[in-house]
Structure 1
Amino acid sequence: MSPSGTAGFKGAVRRPWRLVAEGSALVIAVLVAFPLYWMVLSAFKPEGEVQSGQPVPWTLNPSLDSFRRVFAQDDFGRYFANSLLVAGTVVVASAAIAFLAATAVTRFRFRLRTSVMIMFLVAQMVPIEALTIPMFFLMRDVGALNTLASLILPHIAFALPFAVWMLRGFVKAVPDSLEEQAFIDGASRRRFLWQILFPLVLPGLVATSVFSFISTWNDFLFAKSFIISATENSTLPMALLVFFDTETPDWGGVMAASTVMTLPVLVFFVLVHRRLVSGLGGAVKD
């Protein structure tokens, strides 16, 4: 058999498996996307269709009433601004600290360096729920309860282990010869750090920032535990509680508020998706 015939035979054998893999990926994508579709659909459904005992996956009478009830809340704008402030602060602070920490554990030789990395890994394995009560008492003792600091500090702490581990691979991929050449050309360590190394690991920073932004933006556990009485410091997930009633919950309002909450995450993802893909690719390559 000629080489071209052999290649054609192998392609014919692989094609069914490729079709199965593509079909499986399509089914999984539909299953993952369906809850998002149902959330948006329920947000646009009239109240009667949302409360119907026979729900259908479409609507012929879309309505904005649920969104009007969401934006009619007096404190909705404040909740939204608080969420932006908390998430933005966590993203910037965790990225800066993780970049410096990853550079230190990768470029510098010091005692207990391996132990420090193991501690990062162990900290990432601890469930957040197991630390909520100890952190509550810690925030109470330092006087941070009912403030945005009680949301910012824990999220920075939980974002750092993953960010440091991921950025460590990007920093390690930068050759030492580049640093030596920069020093020969007269660059200081600070200049090398921020003008040479930082742009090279920026895709990794973007990738870690996406995960820290999503976890902080969607946080409900800390917002419910640490913001007890100062409702002016509540974040957007707390706005969902307004639509919950033990007898007649407003599911249309819940879905509309959830849709509004999802939009900033989608916008943030669209803005950084190119660097996110390259960042994840670099992490896998390492």
Structure 2
Amino acid sequence: MSAVTTSTDAAPVRHRAPGTASGRPARTFRPGKVGAGVLAVAVALLWVFPVYWMINTSLLPRTQVQSRTPTFFSADAGIFNYARVLDGDSFLNALRMSVVVTLSTVLFVLVFAFLAALAISRFRFRGRKSFIIAMLFIQMLPAEGLFIAQYRMLSSANLLNSAVGLTVLYTAAVVPFTVWMLRGFVAGVPAELEEAAMVDGLSRTGAFIRITFPLLAPGLVAAGVYAFLQAWNEFTVALVALPSNQAQTLPLWLRGFLNSSVSQGVNWGEVMAASTLIAVPVIIFFLIVQGRMTGGLVSGAVKG
């Protein structure tokens, strides 16, 4: 007589969902998600189109630019407008002035704003609240109301038409907002991380450099991007500080380049070529820093 036994160790039978081969639930069509994707693509195209149109116009001959029929692609496209813009040393001189002023402004703004943000976030001292309120009032002052005082200050110090004078004005204008920006990043890093590192044997300076500073790298990059854009694209303060045609930043040079062709009609192809050349350093700068915008968020927070 044979006994029929059942094993309790047998693997349970998995029932697959109908219509699927792997047992995973079938993906359902979500019109809302698709609609959001289409909307995002449409917004991206609207954002990219002005950039495309600027570059496209810079490559077109003057007859096609002035035509009533828009030209999206042309077989006659070329770099002749760029050759006209780069003819002579005016563009290179303006580029050199803009690069020196912008990089100097970014450097000084990051140093001063970082130290100020660290002080008001980590330490309690007399006059701290007054300092914070003073920065708020500085932000409320219109830039146009300071032009006369700025001009007289630079004139008395013999800093008109110089990169040093313009850098001083840009740094003073950008630092207050940058302090507020970096203050949020510094306040977001717990002071307990430094205290834990000091318990492990690091000095206060060593704990700050090895633990806190890497966590603040994204904030420094964001502040540097803001300072770079403010200094690179600024026009009105540069117009006051650089009254001579021999010392110009790129926005001032572009205005002069535009005015030089008014008598013969504005050649928008050349203007767009000049605008494209001005935008190239900004694109290069963003390509350099984009990978560091999120880097360092957790670097140094874990003891290795």
Q: What TM-score, normalized by structure 2, do the two folds share?
A: 0.79
State the alpha-carbon separation in 2 of the partners of residues 116 and 16 from structure 1. 53
Unaligned runs of at least 5 residues, structure 1: 281-286
Q: CA deviation at 1:95?
A: 0.8
| 1:272 partner amino acid | V
Judge conservation of contact 1:207–1:275 (CA < 8 Å) in 2.
Answer: no
| Richer in helix (by share) | 1
Q: Which amino acid aligns with 1:234?
A: Q
C-alpha distance in 1, partners of 2:47/2:213? 35
Give 1:191 shift.
4.0
Report the equivalent of 2:267: 250
Deviation at 1:47, TM superposition (A): 1.9
- Partner residue, 1:32: 47
Distance in 2 between the 1:251 and 1:277 partners?
39
Contact 1:94 1:159 in 2 (8 A): yes
Query: Matches of 2:48 and 2:169 in 1, distance apart?
Result: 30
Kindly indicate whether the alpha-carbon contact (under 8 Å) linking 1:43 and 1:67 is maintained by their aligned counterparts in 2.
yes
Q: Choose 257-266 or 190-199, whichever is displaced more.
A: 190-199
Aligned to 1:58: 73
Q: 1:69, 1:253 within 8 Å by CA — same for their partners in 2?
A: yes
Aligned AA (1:176)? A
Please give the residue correspondences for 1:272-283 in structure 2 after superposition, counting only pairs within 5 Å. 272-277=289-294
Q: Is the 8 Å Cα contact of residues 50 and 251 (structure 1) preserved in structure 2?
A: yes
Verify: 1:169 aligned to 2:175, yes or no.
no
- Note the C-alpha offset of 1:93: 0.9
Corresponding residue for 1:226? 241
Name 2:94's counterpart in structure 1: 79
| Counterpart secondary structure, 1:233 | coil
Match of 1:246, as an amino acid? V
Amino acid at match of 1:239: W
SS of residue paired to 1:199 = helix
The count of aligned residue pairs is 271
Alpha-carbon shift at residue 50 of structure 1 (Å): 1.8
Q: Does 1:238 align with 2:252?
A: yes
Confirm or deny: 8 A CA contact 2:214 2:296 kept in the other structure. no
Q: CA RMSD in A?
A: 2.7
Alignment gaps of 5+ in structure 2? 1-16, 18-24, 298-304
Q: Secondary structure at the match of 2:134?
A: helix
Maintained 8 Å contact 1:86/1:148: yes
Q: Percent identity?
A: 39
CA contact (8 A) 1:206 1:279 kept: no
Please give the residue correspondences for 1:33-48 in structure 2 after superposition, counting only pairs within 5 Å.
33-48=48-63
**Alpha-carbon distance change, 53 to 137 in structure 1, aligned in 2, over 3 angstroms:** farther
Hey, what does 2:11 align to over in structure 1? Answer: none
C-alpha separation in 2, matches of 1:30 and 1:153: 39
- Could you tell me which amino acid in structure 1 is paired with residue 139 of structure 2? Q
Measure the CA separation in 2 of the matches of 1:172 and 1:196: 14
Q: Which has the larger radius of gyration?
A: 2
Give, as a single letter, the amino acid of the residue that structure 2 aligns with 1:227: L
Confirm or deny that 1:261 pairs with 2:258. Answer: no
- What displacement does 1:119 show? 2.9
Letter in 2 for 1:91: V
Once the two structures are TM-superposed, the CA of residue 184 in structure 1 deviates from its matched residue by: 4.5
Deviation track 1:178-224 (CA, whole Å, cap 9, x = no partner) reads 22244445644444444443222011100111111112112222222
Q: Are 1:67 and 1:257, in contact at CA under 8 Å, matched by a contact in 2?
A: yes
Shift of 1:159: 1.8
Q: Secondary structure at the match of 2:293?
A: helix
Cα deviation, residue 59, structure 1: 2.2
- 1:239, 1:257 within 8 Å by CA — same for their partners in 2? no
Q: Displacement of 1:258 after TM fit?
A: 0.8
Structure 2 residue matching 1:57: 3-state secondary structure: coil
The equivalences for 1:19-168 within 5 A come to 19-168=34-183
TM-score by length of 1: 0.83
Which residue number in structure 2 is paired with residue 283 of structure 1?
A: none
CA–CA distance in structure 1, aligned partners of residues 62 and 218 of structure 2: 44
